[in-house]
Amino acid sequence: MKKNFDIPEFVVAGHPNEGKSSVLSTLSEDDSVRISPVPGETKSCRTFPLILDNREIMRFVDTPGFQNPRATLKWMREYRGDDRMLIPAFLEAHRGNPRFRDDCELLAPMAGASGIIFVVDGSRPMRNVDRAEMEILRLTGKPRMAVLNCKDTETAWLSEWQSEFRKHFNIIRVFNSCRATFAERIRLLESIKSIDQELEPGLSAVISALDMDWSARNRRTAELVVFMLTDIAGWKAEVRLRDGQQADKIREKLVARYRSFARKREKAAFDQIRRLFRHRRLDLKLPGQEAIDHDLFSRKTWEFLGLSRKQLIMAGFAGGAAIGAGIDLGHGGLSMGLFGAAGGILGAAGAAFRAKSLLEGRKIMGVRLDRETLHAGPAASPQLLFVLVDRAIIFYNCVTNWAHGRRDYENMEEAVEFFKKHTSCLTSTWSQRQRDELHRLYRAISEDNVEELQKTQARLAESLTALLENLSRHDARPV
């Protein structure tokens, strides 16, 4: 690892409560950053390194806000020393002064910084303190970039900010810390690249790594969704029916069990997706789980000594050997020492065809040898898959659009409602070909066709990946 001072460092500075910590939280997908509506939340610097394969490429530093911008500027203007020693001199002069604690804390990392990012809430008017702060940053002599983080939709002052920024900053970017998407995060990093040429190779590598990582997350999400679909739609259970038990009641119980499984399974998949996108605090619940309460296929079967009617016939045919050994006919298992097998074929088969009538209710020492079983599952209609996919897409959209710096968790339901209405790639808009993929998956599940299942899973995961990529990289941002 490189030595500390070799690593380019960008200091994020600004007035208190403008969203410095929010911007960094979103940019670094770190929802553990302390953010609060009370100004002065950040008391000491926190670094946000960009680490690529254990190599630290660059880092951002979150700082407290200016507490005495006018006084600081005044001091700096009166300073008559070596320009390069401005910050150390300021720190020296104000060390131990509690009034200037925050100002020292925020100026200290600037001495060695490669650049400064000034964060401002563009939805408010500009005041003299802001001008003073910009001037202070100018006096540091570092490359500067301005980030307009508009806290609300008010745009009346935006142009004033921008024209003022043009005088002070090399680069100006609008970056909303509560709504920034992946693409916007990348664009912000891209523009940092142009601040300092030396940063370019390292930062390019980070950006491409982030890009690949994002694609991998989408692919993983698609896979998780497909597995969830398979598990929920393919759920099966068997219950042995005892004498006098009503199949209907048991069936109801099984359906209830199935539904609770489906809900839990969906939640588990959603949790995995949420963690994939590094949300640890966002407890996003998609309402309307009853939509996935679907019905199950069910049927009754009859077995004697654990063998179904079909198996009884097979057993007669194969003399009991092949099945006991669990070796397929198809693999020549029978050729193993079964010289005498042929003899039993005819007799056993005859008996087995009439097996049920002959064997039903047989008991040995009071134990009934045959039994009836209720089988439930898989899901009774492919519609379920469509509902599940839609829900997963909505969930994905909520998770990827909930910036890590966003803390108004109480508004989550509203956001979910929004995405329910405004998600563009839901199954209702799918082409026939895409729908067929879901139908095919359903068929493979209900026929229990492993090979086909694998194929359809892979295909579906692929098209879902493409869909998610499209959704997260190109879809218009919500309001």
Ligand X SMILES: Nc1nc2c(ncn2[C@@H]2O[C@H](COP(=O)(O)OP(=O)(O)OP(=O)(O)O)[C@@H](O)[C@H]2O)c(=O)[nH]1
Which of 85, 93, 216, 351 is the binder for another protein (CB under 8 A)? 216
Query: Of 400, 455, 453, 457, which is closest to residue 425 (Cα–Cα)?
Result: 400
Among 94, 217, 259, 407, binds ligand X (CB under 6 A): 407
Q: 178 touches which of Mg ion, ligand X, another protein, none (CB within 5 to 8 A by kind)?
A: ligand X
| Contact present, 464 and 426 (Cβ < 8 Å) | no
What is the x/- site pattern for ligand X, positions 6-35, by CB under 6 A?
Answer: --------x-xxxxxxx------------x
Distance of CA 11 to the CA centre of its chain: 29
How are beta strands 307-308 and 144-148 bridged, if at all?
A: unpaired
Separation between Cα atoms, residue 453 and residue 437, nearest integer Å: 11
**Closer CB to ligand X, 63 or 218, in the complex:** 63
Minimum gap (Å) between residue 281 Cβ and another protein: 13
**CA dist 317 → 342, 356, 370 (Å):** 8, 17, 20
Q: Is the peptide bond before 378 cis (omega within 30 degrees of 0)?
A: yes
Residue 457 Cβ vs ligand X, minimum distance, rounded to whole Å = 40
Give, as ranges, the residues between 132 and 151 that touch ligand X (CB under 6 A).
149, 151
* Residue 377 CB partners (closer than 8 Å, separation 6+): 234, 235, 236, 237, 254, 258, 296, 297, 298
| Residues from 131 through 150 that contact another protein (CB under 8 A) | 132
State which residue, 328 or 414, has the beta carbon closest to another protein.
328
With binding defined as CB under 8 A, does residue 1 bind another protein? no
- CA separation for the pair 128, 202 (Å, rounded): 38
Residues sharing a CB contact under 8 Å with residue 265, sequence separation 6 or more, in sequence order: 228, 231, 232
Contact 392, 225 (CB under 8 A): yes
Least distance between another protein and beta carbon 203 (Å): 12
| Residue list 264-293, contact with Mg ion (CB under 5 A) | none
Least distance from C-beta 198 to another protein, angstroms? 18
42 binds Mg ion (CB under 5 A): yes
Which region, judged by CB under 5 A, interacts with Mg ion, from 40-48, 78-86, 415-423, 448-456? 40-48
The reply on whether position 299 binds another protein by CB under 8 A is no
Q: Name which of 60, 157, 64 is nearest 113 in CA terms.
A: 60
Residue with tokens 């940092």: 192
31, 22 contact by CB (below 8 A): no
Among 13, 23, 35, 50, indicate the residue that binds another protein (CB under 8 A).
50
- Binders of another protein among 398-437, rule CB under 8 A? none
Residues 37-56 that bind ligand X (CB under 6 A): 37, 39-42
* C-alpha to C-alpha distance for 355 and 304, rounded to whole angstroms: 8
CB of 69 to ligand X, least distance (A): 13
Cα–Cα distance between 210 and 188 in angstroms, integer? 13
Q: Which of residues 299-338 bind Mg ion (CB under 5 A)?
A: none
Asked if 278 touches another protein (CB under 8 A), the answer is: yes
Q: What minimum distance in Å lies between the beta carbon of 336 and another protein?
A: 6
Could you say which of another protein, Mg ion, ligand X, none residue 385 binds, taking C-beta under 5 to 8 angstroms by partner kind?
A: none
Per-residue contact flags (x/-) with another protein for residues 76 to 115, judged by CB under 8 A: ---------------x---xxxxxxxx-xx--xx------
Q: Which does 475 bind (CB under 5 to 8 A by kind): ligand X, Mg ion, another protein, none?
A: none
Instruction: Output the DSSP codes for 142-173.
Output: --EEEEE--SSS--TTHHHHHHHHHHH-SEEE
90: part of which helix (H) or strand (E)? Answer: helix 86-94
Told to check if 306 binds another protein by CB under 8 A, we report: no
From the CB of 19, what's the least distance to Mg ion, in Å? 8
81 touches 89 (CB < 8 A): yes
Count of residues in contact with another protein, rule CB under 8 A: 107
Site for ligand X in 164-193 (CB under 6 A): 176-178
Q: What distances in angstroms separate CA 138 from CA 121, 132, 142, 146, 372, one per listed residue?
A: 19, 10, 7, 12, 85
Measure the CA–CA gap between 36 and 441, rounded to whole angstroms: 47
65 is a site residue for ligand X (CB under 6 A): yes
Name the minimum Å distance from CB 120 to ligand X: 10
Which of 22, 68, 181, 465 is in the footprint of another protein by CB under 8 A? Answer: 68
User: Are residues 45 and 21 in contact, defined by beta-carbon separation less than 8 angstroms?
Assistant: no
Choose which of 10, 66, 75, 419 interacts with another protein (CB under 8 A).
66
Of the candidates 139, 174, 209, 241, which one interacts with another protein according to CB under 8 A?
A: 209
Quick count: other Cβ atoms within 10 Å of Cβ 403? 22
Contact indicator for 72, 105 with CB cutoff of 8 Å: no
Is residue 36 at the binding interface for ligand X, with CB under 6 A as the rule? yes
Cα 159 from Cα 169, distance rounded (Å): 15
User: 219 near 461, Cβ under 8 Å?
Assistant: yes
DSSP label at residue 33? S
Taking the complex as a whole, the smallest distance from the CB of residue 138 to ligand X amounts, in Å, to 20
Contact string (CB under 8 A) for another protein, positions 436-455, x = contact:
-----------xxxxxxxx-
Q: Which positions touch ligand X (CB under 6 A)? A: 14, 16-22, 35-37, 39-42, 64-65, 149, 151-152, 176-178, 407
Q: Which positions touch Mg ion (CB under 5 A)? A: 20-21, 41-42
